[in-house]
Amino acid sequence: MRVGITSRIDVDTALNVVKEIVSYLNSRGIEVVVDERILKSTSSTLPASDLSKSEMDLLIVVGGDGTLLHTLQRLKDVPPVLTVRVARYGFLMEVEPHEFKYYFEKLLLGEYHVAKKMRLYGKLDDRSLPPVLNEYTILSAEGKVIKIDVERNGEEVLTFLGDGIIIAPTTGSTGYSLSAGGPIIDEDLDAIVITPINPMQLYVRPIVFSSESRIVVRVRGRPYSACLFVDGQLKIPVKPESVLEVFKGDFVRFIRFKRNFYEKILRRLEVL
């Protein structure tokens, strides 16, 4: 087994967790590939490589949701992913640092399941976009409302004035979309949800589509009056009359040991 590992690099706790995991994996005779970003940001002497050019059987991500999303956008071929939470929330993270050895032993014994999470592919005019696990978000760039038209499979769905729109797959339904008033999509469903942001028309509401849908969003307005955000990692100015096409992409495989989707949601809503 060849295991890659990356982490957030702005928190010493995460980097210390990486060292502990690498030491443990080495003791089990497992080959480890450490993200070169870790080496560049610390005085660590761990052997490091460019993960985007490395072959891996498993990828371990230490940090929070932002670390995971950033890592996924860097990789062309994504191996199964095991996440370790070193963040306040980390909704997409699976195990705590102190649990890692226990659950990794279960992994070696085959006592786990694989959760396949759909990503969306996107295209802004003629520009192909990185895939997203959480969302594509269009926002007004000037604090003024913008006009947005939405089509599904060539059929007009809605037109509204507002601050923007979120297009998310199932996983993203519990992120920014949820905060903007979107619905929670059960993790066993593959779907696409569009969530208008602060629409002026009170009848405009989020809509859930089949994952096989092809969504087209047109932005009306003044030059560069809006921006597109790709999983919160990339910001792109949007020209007037630009067209964003969004459709079903690939699946990321997550190593899971727990079945606690709704427990995480309750924690996200600060009920627990």
Mean pLDDT of 262-270: 73
Please tell me the predicted confidence (pLDDT) of residue 272.
45
Q: What is 69-134 written as a DSSP string?
A: HHHHHH-SS---EEEEE-SS--TT--B-GGGHHHHHHHHHTT--EEEEEEEEEEEETTEEEEEESS
Assess whether 194 and 99 both reside in one domain. no
3-state SS of the chain: helix, strand, coil percent to 5? 25, 40, 35
Specify the CATH number for the domain of residue 153.
2.60.200.30
Assess whether 243 and 126 both reside in one domain. yes
Catalytic residues: 65
Assess whether 14 and 50 both reside in one domain. yes
What confidence tens digit (pLDDT) does each residue in 248-258 have? 999 999 999 98
Assess whether 189 and 103 both reside in one domain. no
Assess whether 80 and 169 both reside in one domain. no
Assess whether 99 and 159 both reside in one domain. no
Residue 98 tokens read as: 């102190």
Assess whether 145 and 241 both reside in one domain. yes
Please tell me the predicted confidence (pLDDT) of residue 41.
62
Q: What is the dihedral of CA 187, 63, 179, 159, to 10 degrees?
A: -80
Residue 197 and residue 194: Cα distance in Å, rounded? Answer: 10
Q: Assess whether pLDDT exceeds 90 at residue 11.
A: no
Total domain count, the chain = 2
Residue 205 tokens read as: 């509401």
Assess whether 7 and 74 both reside in one domain. yes
Domain range enclosing 216: 120-249
Q: Are 60 and 101 in contact (CB under 8 A)?
A: no
Specify the CATH number for the domain of residue 65.
3.40.50.10330
Q: Assess whether pLDDT exceeds 70 at residue 102.
A: yes
Assess whether 126 and 90 both reside in one domain. no
Assess whether 102 and 131 both reside in one domain. no
pTM, whole model, 2 decimals? 0.91
Assess whether 238 and 262 both reside in one domain. no
The SS3 of residue 59 is strand
Q: Look-up: residue for tokens 């910001």?
A: 235
Do the strands 81-85 and 2-7 form a parallel or antiparallel pair, or are they unpaired?
A: unpaired
What confidence tens digit (pLDDT) does each residue in 111-156 have? 999 999 999 999 999 999 999 999 999 999 888 899 999 999 999 9
Assess whether 108 and 126 both reside in one domain. no
